[in-house]
Amino acid sequence: MADHNKKHYFMIIDKDELKSVALDHTEDKGLVQLWKQGKSEDTVEDFEAHDYDEENGRLILKSTAKLLSLLKLSPLLNKEVFLKMTVGKYHYFTYSILEYDKEEKVYVLPLINDIYRGQQRTNYRLMASSYIKIQFKIGEIVYKCQDISAGGVSFIVPTEEAAIFEKDDLHEGCALLFCGKRFEINKARIAGLWDAEVKEPHKKVGIAFVDLKPQIEEDLYRQVNSEARGEEVRKKLAERKAKQS
């Protein structure tokens, strides 16, 4: 079965596009963000794209840390990190091991793994996983969700519990707990109820967010896309480690 999210949202770029993007970004001394695998994107460390070693496929970076911080090396050194850089309207991301060139006093990131280009897709739906934690609070009850998009969530409950929900009902004062962040959802509408594909009788409840404040909507959109990029990179890491074992 085709992975529609991957088909429409993620694209692996070729060597020509990598060269063009890397040269443009280093010419502009653009921002490169790195964070350790298994950590959230909130823990990023910023670097400047200093140069691109096309022959060896390496991105040369300089730290943007304050003067006192430059006296010590990055805690990400020699660790497997996620990379993100924004060039034009696209986000590019990959993973690698951060190295340091003592003679040149620059950081080096070998670009030996697939480079992904993130394409905007407003209806992107992200599935819950061991890394992606999604909960939705209605009244005093917190539901563990199956998936999320910038426009809503869904969760599964036993059929008898689903009786309290009716299509198009509005619930006020709700809250979304998503990967350690809390979003206040003032209004949520029951978008629909469906039979869930599980052994016992259950219903899937679809929730649509209503009249989100612009800043909350933007923050949620960014968070969904950020977690989606991280999830795709984690899949690639798992595939690589499975082949090595």
Judge whether 67 lies within some domain.
Answer: yes
Residue 57 lies in domain? 4-118
How big is the CA angle at 157 (ends 156 and 161), to the nearest 5 degrees? Answer: 155
Of residues 170 and 93, more confidence is placed in 170
145 forms bridges with which residues in the sheet? 155
C-alpha span between 61 and 48 (Å, rounded):
5
Residues 82 and 134 occupy one common structural domain: no
Residues 98 and 31 occupy one common structural domain: yes
Residues 133 and 78 occupy one common structural domain: no
What CATH number has the domain bearing residue 131?
Answer: 2.40.10.220
Judge whether 29 lies within some domain.
Answer: yes
Residue 39: the pLDDT is 62
Residues 23 and 92 occupy one common structural domain: yes
Instruction: Report percent pLDDT > 90 for the chain.
Output: 60
Residues 44 and 102 occupy one common structural domain: yes
**Which of the four pLDDT bands, split at 50, 70 and 90, describes residue 119?**
low
Judge whether 241 lies within some domain.
Answer: no
Judge whether 216 lies within some domain.
Answer: yes
Of residues 131 and 40, more confidence is placed in 131
What CATH number has the domain bearing residue 49?
Answer: 2.30.110.10
Residue 226: the pLDDT is 82
Of residues 219 and 109, more confidence is placed in 109
Residue 91: the pLDDT is 85
Query: What are the backbone angles phi and psi of residue 98, rounded to the nearest 5°?
Result: -80, 125
Judge whether 243 lies within some domain.
Answer: no
Q: Which of 118, 142, 175 is the last residue of a domain?
A: 118
Residue 178 token pair: 């998503």
Strands 31-36 and 202-210: unpaired
Judge whether 242 lies within some domain.
Answer: no
Residues 51 and 82 occupy one common structural domain: yes
Residue 152 contacts residue 191 (beta carbons within 8 Å): yes
Residues 85 and 186 occupy one common structural domain: no
Residues 49 and 28 occupy one common structural domain: yes
Residues 19 and 112 occupy one common structural domain: yes
Size (the chain), residues? 245
C-alpha span between 131 and 242 (Å, rounded):
19
Mean of the pLDDT values across residues 114-128?
A: 76
Of residues 91 and 142, more confidence is placed in 142
Judge whether 11 lies within some domain.
Answer: yes
Residue 87: the pLDDT is 86
Residue 41: the pLDDT is 57
Residue 108 contacts residue 99 (beta carbons within 8 Å): yes
- What is the per-residue pLDDT across 187-233, written as a single tens digit (0 to 9) for each? 999 999 999 987 788 999 999 999 888 788 878 888 888 888 788 88
DSSP characters over 161-217: GGGG--TT-EEEEEEEEETTEEEEEEEEEEEEEEE-SSSS-EEEEEEEEES--HHHH
Of residues 65 and 171, more confidence is placed in 171
DSSP code at position 44: -
Query: What does pLDDT average to over the chain?
Result: 87
Q: Could you tell me the pTM of the whole model?
A: 0.55
Judge whether 239 lies within some domain.
Answer: no
Q: Which of 118, 139, 159 is the last residue of a domain?
A: 118
Residues 106 and 130 occupy one common structural domain: no
- Strand runs labelled E in the chain: 10-12, 31-36, 45-53, 58-63, 80-87, 90-97, 99-101, 106-110, 116-118, 126-127, 134-138, 141-149, 152-158, 170-178, 181-195, 202-210
Residues 43 and 135 occupy one common structural domain: no
The terminus-to-terminus CA distance of the chain in angstroms comes to 26
User: Does the pLDDT value for residue 7 go beyond 60?
Assistant: no
Number of domains in the chain: 2
**Which of the four pLDDT bands, split at 50, 70 and 90, describes residue 38?**
low
Of the candidate ranges 69-73, 107-111, 184-188, 216-220, the one whose mean pLDDT is the lowest: 69-73
Residue 229 contacts residue 222 (beta carbons within 8 Å): no
Cβ neighbours of residue 183 closer than 8 Å, sequence gap 6 or more: 175, 176, 177, 216, 219, 220
**Which of the four pLDDT bands, split at 50, 70 and 90, describes residue 103?**
very high
Residues 173 and 101 occupy one common structural domain: no
CA 59 distance to own-chain centroid: 22
Instruction: List Cα–Cα distances, 21 to 15, 193, 231, in angstroms.
Output: 10, 45, 23
